[in-house]
Amino acid sequence: MTSNIVPISRSKTNSLRLLRFTQELIQKPSVTPNDGGCIPWLIEQLEPMGFQCQLFKLNGITNLIAQIGEGSKSLAFLGHTDVVPEGDSEQWLFPPFSAQFHNNHIYGRGAADMKSGIACMLDATKQYLESGFDFSEGKFYWLITSDEEGEAEYGTRAIIEYLKQESIQLDACLVGEPTAQKQTGDTIKIGRRGAISGSLKLLGKVGHVAYPHHIKNPVHQMGNVIQSLTSIEWDEGSIDFPGTSLQITHIDSGDFTDNVSPKFCEIHFNIRYSHHWCEKTLNDIIENILESQAVSYQLTWERPCAPYMTHHLNYEQSLLPVLEKSVFKSTGHYPKLSTSGGTSDGRFAATLGCEVYELGVCNSTIHQYNECVSVNDLVSLRDIYSSILEQYFN
């Protein structure tokens, strides 16, 4: 099943198993919402270690809640098995689900986002138990879904709602998303900006363009609206969050005849926003602009993702110093703390009121052709995760 695994030239132990885990996961085609058999495979690995595993499907989405340990404190590892479509396979150096090893990298869709993170935590957990440690000091959860890259309605959101219903509280959550800029461990995400997409349609009056006094051209009106939207003075951000921004992503006026004014003009836009804003305040500022333009419009919102931020009232008692020490132990460098990038399922875990951090491999090739992960990054992340488990549960 897994071939072309070669030893790596580092003084790290048990790397062959880590590479095998990574390859086996990549070789399972799991384009959203299909899990591709990843979660049943994970259960086969976790149950022999003592995890109690619960697989449940919801609207075609496969979810996993696995738990081990009986202590008072609790840590969850959060991740997803689904990947974005591979696109044109001819643009890949190797078949996108072959998990080919080449030049000290493993290539394949999901190699970085985020099957490598799952493989690293799996190998780290095995190493932890093989070293004679246990989970008597706390509970360790695995929360895995096949619905992160899509609408995210029936994945982690549903898992977190289940935990709430069962009164299961988490102290901290570690998300295995690819967060590094150049090498594993150089960046830890301590929060994320919010995101929301909007659709705006202006209605016009159809007519011959030779008689402009008889028509109402919605494209011309939309031009004024776009200028107003892109001229909004948003916040510039802070140490914790990048500034808010609005980007127009699509313009459409339907089928056209070059001498007829269109019936409508529609734009789609996306707003990435800081904690200074919420859905209501964003809606208010857009509607105020539209009212000032005196246009007939239809405004709808979709895919709202609330911002989240982990605050440290007591730094020494938080998980963050454990993460920082683990990164330094493996890489010799302390990580940068960031809230940049897109959204993640960490926003759902944050509704539990727990600490949420994201720590993974390099994200420079995610969602691209020839997505890949370096073996050095894999080994570093596995060692970081191993150190986190040892410090947190002992």
Q: Catalytic residue positions?
A: 82, 148
Which residues in 363-381 are b (16+ Cβ under 10 Å) and which e? bebbeebbbbbbbbbbbbb
Please list, in sequence order, all residues whose beta carbon lies within 8 angstroms of the beta carbon of residue 85, skipping any fewer than 6 positions away: 31, 109
CA-wise closest residue to 261 among 306, 212, 228: 212
**Angle at the Cα of 252 (from 248 to 253), degrees rounded to 5?**
140
**Angle at the Cα of 251 (from 32 to 147), degrees rounded to 5?**
10
Tally of CB atoms within 10 A around 358: 26
Burial (Cβ within 10 Å: 0-12, 13-18, ≥19) of residue 206: middle
Q: Which two three-digit tokens encode residue 133?
A: 């440690």
Supply the DSSP symbol for 7: -
Answer left, alpha or beta for residue 241, where phi above 0 means left and psi between -120 and 50 means alpha.
beta
Asked if 82 and 148 count as a contact pair (C-beta separation under 8 A), the reply is: yes
Distances (CA, A) of 139 to 71, 74, 108, 234: 6, 5, 33, 43
Sheet of 372-374: strand order equals 100-102, 105-107, 372-374
Helix H segments across 27-172?
Answer: 38-46, 115-130, 156-165
Supply the DSSP symbol for 174: E
Strands (E), 115-263: 138-145, 172-175, 187-189, 191-192, 194-203, 207-208, 245-252, 260-261
